[in-house]
Amino acid sequence: MFRNLRRQISRYAYEINEVKEITLPDDRKDLIISIYDLKSYLANAQKWNNRRRLLFRQMSPLQQKIASSINYPNKLNLVDQYFEKNNKIIDQIVKSSINKYNVKDYELQFVEEQASLQKRNQFFRVVESLCHYARDWSKKPSEEISPLLEYIMLQCKDLNDDKTVAIVPGSGLGRVAHELAAQLKLSSVHAVEFSWSMVLMNEFLYSTMENVNDLNVYPYLHTYSNHLTIEDQVRPVEIMHSLEKPQSLNIHHGDFTQFNLSDHLKANEDPENLLIVTCFFLDTAENLISYFQAINKLSSGFNGKVKWINLGPLKYGTAAKIELCDDEMKAIIKTMGWNLWMNKNQNF
C-alpha cells in the first residue's frame, strides 16, 4: 500500500514539473505588470509607512514619549487611512483595465508570481501618476497647467482645421491631447505614452462612474516633508471623471520613437499638416538626440505646415547620455532643419 502511494506521489510530482511556463507577448506582459503595480499600491504604501514606524521605534523610550505627547504615532495611522481612500480609486482603475483588456486570472497570477520572485516594487511610479492626476486633471484651475494649455492653444490657431493631425509624444495622463481634440477641429489627435500605468489611468477618466459626484485623490500622503500642518499632507484634490472622450482623440501605448502615424490613420484620412506637442517630456530622454531624430521622422511626408511646440523644464534623469542647455538644444534642432519661429520668455 505505501509503495503504491509513493509511486503515485512521484508520478504526480513528475507531471507537475513538466508543466511549461506561460509566455506572454512583451506588450501584454507589460500591461499586466502595470495592473499588478496598481493592485500593489496599498500593500506597498503600508510597507513604506511601516518603515517610518520602525525608524520611530529606534529612538530612545524618552524620545518616543516626547513625540507621542503630540500624537505623532496617530499621524502615521491617519495616513494609513488615507492610503485606503486612494486605493478605492486605484481598485476601480484595476477593475476597469482588466475588463477593457480582457485580462485573465491565470495571466495575473503568472505575472504576480514572477513579480514576487523578482521583489518588484514600483510604488513610486503609481504615486507619480496620482500626483499627475492632481496636476493635470484637477477640477480647480491649475496654476501650472492652465497657462500651458492657453499658450499651446494660442500657437495652434493657424492649424485649427481638419487637414491637420496632431501627435503628443509622452502624453502622460493625456490632458494636452484631450484639450487639442476637444477645442480644435483637427482630423485626429494621437496621444503616445510609453508607461502602461499612465495609459490605464488616462483611459479610466473616460469610463462612466455611476452614483459618483466627487472623485478625490490624495497625492501628498507619500512624503512627510514640507508640510505646515497634518491637514496639508492629507488634503484632497478633486479630479474630473466620467469625461466624454473627444471623437478625434486616439490613445496609444508605445515608444513614440517607434510610432508610425500611417498605421493609425483612418482609411479616408490624408492630412496635409502636422502638429507635434511635447510637454514635460524632452528631459525624460535617455538619449535626447534619438528623440529629435524620431520627431524629424514623424515630420517627413507632409505637404503643408509642420509645427512643433515644446514646453517644459530641462531637468534630466540620472542616466541621460547627453544633457543640453536650452541654447545647445536650439542649436542642434536648427541643424536638423527646424526654424525657431518664436523664442519668447513666457511666465507660467
d(CA 336, CA 296): 8
In 3D, which of 272, 276, 253, 273 has the Cα closest to residue 264? 253
Instruction: Quote the pLDDT of residue 52.
Output: 97
110 backbone dihedrals φ, ψ, rounded to 5°:
-60, -50
Domain ranges for the chain: 142-206+243-348
Kindly state the cell numbers that stand for 297: 521622422
Cβ-based neighbours of 3, under 8 Å, separated by 6 or more: none
| Its pTM surpasses 0.75 | yes
Q: Give the count of beta carbons closer than 10 Å to the beta carbon of residue 190.
A: 24
pLDDT of 14: 46
| pLDDT score for 301 | 86
Q: What is the pLDDT along the chain (348 residues), one digit of tens a residue?
A: 555 555 555 555 544 444 446 788 889 999 999 999 999 999 999 999 999 999 999 999 999 999 999 999 999 999 999 999 999 999 999 999 999 999 999 999 999 888 888 888 889 999 999 999 999 999 998 888 999 999 999 999 899 899 999 999 999 999 999 999 999 999 999 999 999 999 999 999 999 877 677 899 999 999 999 999 999 999 999 999 999 999 999 999 999 999 999 999 999 999 999 999 999 999 999 999 999 999 999 999 899 999 999 999 999 988 899 999 999 999 999 999 999 876 555 554
Per-residue pLDDT at 118:
83
Rounded to 10°, the helix 72-100/41-57 angle is 160
If you write DSSP's letter for every residue of 66-92 in order, what string do you get? HHHTTTHHHHHHHHHHHHHHHHHHHHH
Q: What is the rounded CA–CA span in Å between residue 255 and residue 193?
A: 7
- What confidence score (pLDDT) does residue 99 get? 96
Per DSSP, the three-state class of 268 is coil
Rg of the Cα trace of the chain? 25
Could you tell me which of 295, 292, 288, 284 has the C-alpha nearest to residue 261? 295
Cα separation of 260 and 307, whole Å?
A: 18
User: Which pLDDT does position 32 carry in this prediction?
Assistant: 95
Contact yes or no for 196/202 (Cβ under 8 A)? no
Q: What is the dihedral of CA 24, 262, 195, 162, to 10 degrees?
A: -140
SS3 content of the chain, % helix, strand, coil (to 5): 50, 10, 40
The fold adopted by the segment(s) 142-206+243-348 is Rossmann fold (3.40.50)
72 C-beta neighbours (distance < 10 Å), count: 13
What is the rounded CA–CA span in Å between residue 115 and residue 113?
A: 5
Contact 86, 221 (CB under 8 A): yes
- DSSP structure class, residue 244: P
AA identity, residue 274 = L
Question: Rounded to 5 degrees, what angle do the CA atoms 144, 289, 342 make?
Answer: 50
- The per-residue pLDDT for 193 is 98
| Contact by Cβ (8 Å): 254, 192 | yes
Rounded CA separation 18/228 (Å): 59
CA distance 345 to 348: 10
